[in-house]
Amino acid sequence: MTLFELEQRAAPEGRLVRVRLTVAYDGAGFRGFAVNEGVRTVAGTLGAAIERVLGHEVRLTCAGRTDAGVHAWGQVVSFDARADGLDIAVLQRAVNAMCGPEIVVRVAEEVGDDFDARRAAVSRRYRYTVLNRPWPDPFLARTAWHVDQPLDLDLLRLTCDPFIGEHDFSAFCRRPRVPDGSPPASLVRRVHDACWTDAGDGLLRLDIEASSFCHQMVRSVVAAMVEAGRGRLWPGELADILRSGDRGRAPGPAPPHGLCLWEVRYR
């Protein structure tokens, strides 16, 4: 690494300000959000662009780490920047010029130093899009799961009820690894709302909001709901699967490209 590169990555000095970004991205070309050495990620690409503009290293905190192939419209990121010479509007334009159109900073603003994109969030809302018609659409292929069998919208809407409230989602989540000897991580989550809407022309959308989500939770829930919409499961069976905590009883996760982190809400 050259001296110039070392200077570019030097830690910020002097008075710092907290910056909040609302970020949209097409996740198709990334191996998820979180920095992962040797692979292309959203945080790696976005962080490198921010550092290049600011001239110092930054540590990004995000509202939720999306998996490979998952998109975002309302991801929120926060970091500390050197106050001297900081121009938020210039930062936004420069980052968008370097990262767009795959990654776009929709909003950039200075916030109080007590703001934390992850810890201050009270809920996250995801949107999953299904294209339900016999033929695919090349312009939606990157952002919607094409299901050619007819889905019953009334049944889909009934599938939402079992998931609303606080539940152990072990049957619908990929259990995280923990160090040997440590207790298993809790997969209890509180879902505030879930609903399917018909956007017309075969587009069906699930909006689901919760305090937080565990790994693959939304995609696994969607896969089970779609099975019910096909008539292969009754909505009441989903409640039994949820109560069982048995990951083997739930259908495999739906494809990642239909999922989008739509909004993060704060106090």
**Residues designated as active site:** 67
Q: How many CB atoms lie within 10 A of CB 54?
A: 20
| DSSP-based three-state secondary structure for 184 | coil
CA angle 105, 106, 109 (to 5 degrees): 85
d(CA 254, CA 252): 7
The closest of 193, 220, 219 to 207, measured between CA atoms, is 193
Structure tokens belonging to residue 114? 């007590």
d(CA 199, CA 259): 16
Q: Which of 130, 95, 120, 111 is nearest to 260 (CA)?
A: 130
DSSP state letter for 190:
E
Element (H, E) at 218: helix 217-229
CB 145 within 8 A of CB 255: yes
Q: Which of 82, 64, 84 is nearest to 73 (CA)?
A: 64
